[in-house]
Structures are given as C-alpha cells and as structure tokens.
Structure 1
Amino acid sequence: MRRIIAVEHPFPTETPADSLLLDFDHRNRRRLVLTTQAGESLLLDMPRAVHMRGGDVARLDDGSAIAIEAADEALLEIMAMDGAALVRIAWHLGNRHLPTQFVAGDGGGRIRIRKDHVIRAMVEGLGGRCTDIAAPFDPEGGAYAGAGLHDHSHDHGTPGHHHAHH
C-alpha cells in the first residue's frame, strides 16, 4: 500500500494521478486508510494530525500527487438581520464548542455548522435564519487547535463547568 508522506498547500501545477473526496472529519487525521476515487487504498501516516483542504495535494512515498477534494456535507447556513445578531449567535455556537465556519460575502457574513435540529431551534430562537445546504465544510481550527483539530484543554473558570472536547 502506498503511503501519504506530506500534504502540500496550495495545489501544485502538476496534474494529480487521482483524487481523494473527503468530508471534514477525514481531512483532519493523523493515521487512516483512505480510498481514492479510482479505488486505491492509501495509508495516511503522519507524525501529527494534518488538516487537508480542498485543492491541497497528498504527496505519496513514490513522489506522485493525489488531489484532495472537499466533499459536500449537510450543513446549516446561518444569517442574521445585522452583524451584532450574527456575533451573538456565533458566541452561543462557540460556547457549545461546535465546529463553525465563517463565510464572508456580499450583504454580510454567514456562519456554517453541521446540520442539527436542536441547534437550528436555538439559532432561530436567537433571531437567526437557517438554510439547509450541501457544501464542503471547513470550520475554524480554534486558538488551541494546533494542527487544525479541535483538541484542547482549558479552564473556563466556572465551578462545575466540565465537558468533553473533540
């Protein structure tokens, strides 16, 4: 089995031999067997977790390149009536440690999260508008994320504030 030995940003000018279509979780790993679009198994075996984005290239141990493509996922795209309302919603999402993607665009920003009916109800209760979309998901890594994974520990300073970090 060929091995992925590096991930290169941005996409080089060479034509990749194949591609990997991966969701967010599979683009953030240290060790995993991945299957290319043509059906070949490749071993991702890195010293630390890597964050691969659509447009990157996986460099194999034989020098060949495999394109990384970000798969569409079921997401909620969140908008609000103004910037202050969107910031308030972002604070509530962050307080729940949800992977969150911020998208700038015409007419203001948007937030993308994984589709979740409970969070949708919370966002709508805060005045946000949610739209179901299918798109690549590339959330912020966070201040403590290091190699792009949401994996950290810290003290929120509140007695009884305990939760798992993923």
Structure 2
Amino acid sequence: MRTIDKRIEVKLAAVLIKRAPTLTLAFDDRCKSRLATTLDNGEEVALVLPRGTVLRDGDVLVADDGALVRVIAAPQEVLVVHAHDVPTLTRAAYHLGNRHTPVEVGAEHLKLEADPVLEDMLKRIGAHVEHATLPFQPETGAYGGGHKHGHDETFVEDYALAQKVFDEHHGHAHAAGHDHGDHSQCGHDHEHEGHEAHEDHDHDAHGHTHAHR
C-alpha cells in the first residue's frame, strides 16, 4: 500500500495535475491526517499527513514513490441558507460561528453540513434553509474564541430564541459557567453527537450584550 504524506504548496503544470489519479473525500475525511482510503481508480492508499491538515478541492498530494494525487471534494448532504435581507443572514452566520460550526460562505448564502438542530434554529431566526447534495468547503481557521456584540433589540431577541432552541433540543439551560471544548473547524460540537455544546451568556452591564464563544 502506498503512503501519501505530503501536500504540494506550489503551482504545478496543468498537464501534470490532469494526469494524476484522484481522491474524492467528504469534508469529515478531508480533516483527517491519518486515513486508510481508496483512490478513485480503486487503489488502496494510506494518508499520513501533518496533524491539523485540512484538504481542499484541488489540492495536490505526493505519495512516497513521488506520484501525484489530486483531491476532489465529494458531494455530500448540506444545508444552503439564504435570507430576505443581509441582517438575517449575518445573524445566521453569527449563531453558527458561535457554535464553532464549519460554514462555507458565499456571496448571498451560507452552506453547512446537514444538521436538524441547526436547521431548526436557522428557520426560527427567519432564514430560509434548503437541503442539497454539493461539495462542502468551509472557511478555515475562523473558529477560535472572542466576543461578539449586539446593540439592538432584534439581535437580543434572536439571540435568546437561538439559545432557547438549543435548550429545547438538549434538555438543559445553564445559567452560568463555560465549557471550553475543541475549537477545531472539523466536526460538530452538538451534545447529541457526544460533544458538549458551548453555552451563550448575556451580560447587561453598560447596556451591551456580550456573547461568549
């Protein structure tokens, strides 16, 4: 079995890339640095990449014998989120980011892996959600800590509603405390999948609402 252990960071001639065998992977598998998988030509290979590597559509990898392999993002079940106005789409992006959810950002839409809890939350804050089967390439490196500030009444109402939806699905409502889990861009942080969901907290000091991520 050949081992694929490098990703090429420089641009190669198109003819070389075109001739390379392809490896089609969904997003979750493109997050794995250690993976036994199969090229599209049927050859079994082992991915052994630096930890933290997230492969994207079009990446070119190198096997231990020097051969090239081109990565293709596999179509998968996703949610495509639209809104009737920019503030609603922005709020949708905020609530997804506050839960460390991998999101692909388009000019007028958001895309995320299909999840019924998130779908319910998005619909309740006024977003339009469609199911589709498409390649998924979320933003990278954008799921760390920090604060978001809401200064209008509508934002506060949406924020409270979003938390209420999660409390209904997870059967808990914590008044205080933080749970600092994995802030990785890969995978889900929902309790129904074995991970603790990050709680949101409203603070009214100085007339601002601070959402801790």
Q: TM-score, normalised by structure 2?
A: 0.65
Q: What is the aligned partner in structure 1 of residue 62 from structure 2?
A: 59
Q: Could you say which residue in structure 1 is the equivalent of 2:104? A: 101
| Counterpart in the other structure of 2:137 | 138
1:6–1:60 Cα contact (<8 Å) kept: yes
The gaps in structure 2 that reach 5 residues or longer are 148-174, 185-213
2:89 is matched with 86
Deviation of 1:38 after TM superposition, in Å, equals 1.6
8 A contact 1:10–1:55 mirrored in 2: no
Judging by fraction of residues, say which structure has more strand. 1
- 1:143 CA drift (Å): 3.7
Of stretches 3-12 and 79-88 in structure 1, the one that deviates more from structure 2 is 3-12
2:84 partner SS: coil
Q: 2:37 aligned to 30, 34, 38, which one?
A: 34
Q: Which residue of 2 aligns with 1:149?
A: none
Aligned-residue offset at 1:36: 0.5
> Separation in 2 of the partners of 1:25 and 1:5?
18
**Kept in 2: contact 1:10–1:56 (CA 8 A):** no
**Per-residue CA shift, 1:81-115, capped at 9, x if unaligned?**
111111111111112221111012xxxx2001111
**Of the two structures, which has the highest relative contact order with CA contacts closer than 8 Å and spacing of 6 or more?**
1
Q: Report percent identity of matched pairs.
A: 36
Gap regions ≥5 residues in structure 1: 145-151
- In the TM superposition, what is the alpha-carbon distance from 1:57 to its structure 2 partner? 1.3
Residue 72 (structure 1) aligned with residue 75 (structure 2): yes
Please state how far the C-alpha of 1:80 moved relative to its aligned partner.
0.7
* Structure number with bigger Rg: 2
Question: Is the counterpart of residue 19 in structure 1 residue 38 in structure 2?
Answer: no
State yes or no: 1:7 paired with 2:10: no
- Partner Cα separation in structure 2 for residue 141 and residue 35 of structure 1: 25
TM-score normalised according to structure 1 size: 0.82
Q: How big is the shift at 1:164?
A: 2.9
Note the C-alpha offset of 1:50: 1.5
Measure how far apart 1:9 and its partner are.
4.8
CA RMSD, Structure 1 to Structure 2 (Å): 2.2
Shift of residue 60 of structure 1?
1.1
Answer yes or no: is the 8 Å Cα contact 1:16–1:64 preserved in 2.
Answer: no
Distance 1:11 1:55 in 2: 11
What SS is found at the alignment partner of 1:63? coil
Q: Do structure 1's residue 43 and structure 2's residue 42 form an aligned pair?
A: no
3-state SS of 1:87 partner:
helix
Residues 77 and 20 of structure 1: CA distance in aligned 2, closer, same or farther (over 3 Å): same
User: Is the CA contact 1:80–1:86 (under 8 Å) kept in the aligned structure 2?
Assistant: yes
State the aligned residue count.
Answer: 153
Q: 1:78 to 1:11 in 2, by over 3 A?
A: farther
